[in-house]
Amino acid sequence: MCIGLMPPTKAPWPHPLVAREGWPFLVISLVVALTMTGVVGWAWASPFWLIALFVLQFFRDPARVVPIGEGLVLSPADGRIVAVEKTEDPWLKREALKISVFMNVFNVHSNRAPVDGEVKGRWYNPGKFVNADLAKASTENERNAVWFRTPDGKDVTSVQVAGLIARRILCYVEPGAQLQRGQRYGFIRFGSRVDVYLPTDARPRVALGDKVRAASDVLAQL
């Protein structure tokens, strides 16, 4: 459960039921399951239907209700809080408050903008694929960083980090793009994490172990 009260006024942000990244995998898994059912029957084909169900749940992309309020930093990912700490933002070379969200294979893997603002920069670094639950994943794993600047001049860095199983980071925004908080900007396959670097005066609204949902739960207040 997140610390602090959610703002009372909210607005919806629409999303497709299944992320577009998942359609090829879903179609293939359904075709295989249907084919095996026709060849060997339901009982022997049941493992293939379980695989299709797993693919469906992994690529689900449900609509979320986005909190409205000044200075809110929303979670860019579904998952569990694994870090709330002061550290260096390696992308903007500044001291920062880092909040990290770990996603397991059963979480929604769409990534959403944590704040309203302009994309000022984007960096991709190849790397390893160690367990994303570990702190060293932030500096050693494959990762993609997006630098947001809010309308009032605050800098927020959101970093997609690949994990032990994740082998593909997808990001659909480039410098100059204007995003609203909660807007979808990327996807990670499969388990992974997202690190958010904030100004040091940001006030955390979550604690270690909290479970959060992208675009719905507040990580911090700027």
Structural fold of domain 72-221: Glucose Permease (Domain IIA) (2.70.70)
Catalytic residue among 29, 100, 192, 216: 192
Residue 173 Cα to chain centre, angstroms: 14
Helix (H) or strand (E) holding 44: helix 42-58
- Answer yes or no: 192 catalytic: yes
Contact 74, 216 (CB under 8 A): yes
Tokens describing residue 202: 């940001």
Tens place of pLDDT for every residue, the chain, 222 residues? 333 333 333 444 444 677 777 678 788 888 998 999 988 888 898 888 898 888 787 777 888 888 888 899 999 999 999 999 999 999 999 999 999 999 887 888 889 999 999 999 999 888 665 555 556 656 667 889 999 999 999 999 999 988 666 557 888 899 999 999 999 898 887 668 899 999 999 999 999 999 999 999 999 999
**Count of CB atoms situated within 10 Å of the CB of 51:** 16
| 3-class SS letters over 104-135 | CCCCCCEEECCCCEEEEEEEEECCECCCCCCC
The single residue listed with the structure tokens 């006030």 is: 203
Supply the pLDDT for residue 26: 81
DSSP E strands, 55-181: 64-67, 72-74, 79-89, 94-103, 110-112, 117-125, 143-149, 155-162, 168-171, 178-179
* Rounded Cα–Cα distance for residues 101 and 133 (Å): 9
Supply the pLDDT for residue 127: 62
Rounded to 5°, the CA angle 204-209-210 comes to 60
Supply the pLDDT for residue 126: 80
* Rounded Cα–Cα distance for residues 153 and 39 (Å): 61
Q: At what angle do helices 23-40 and 42-58 cross, to 10 degrees?
A: 170
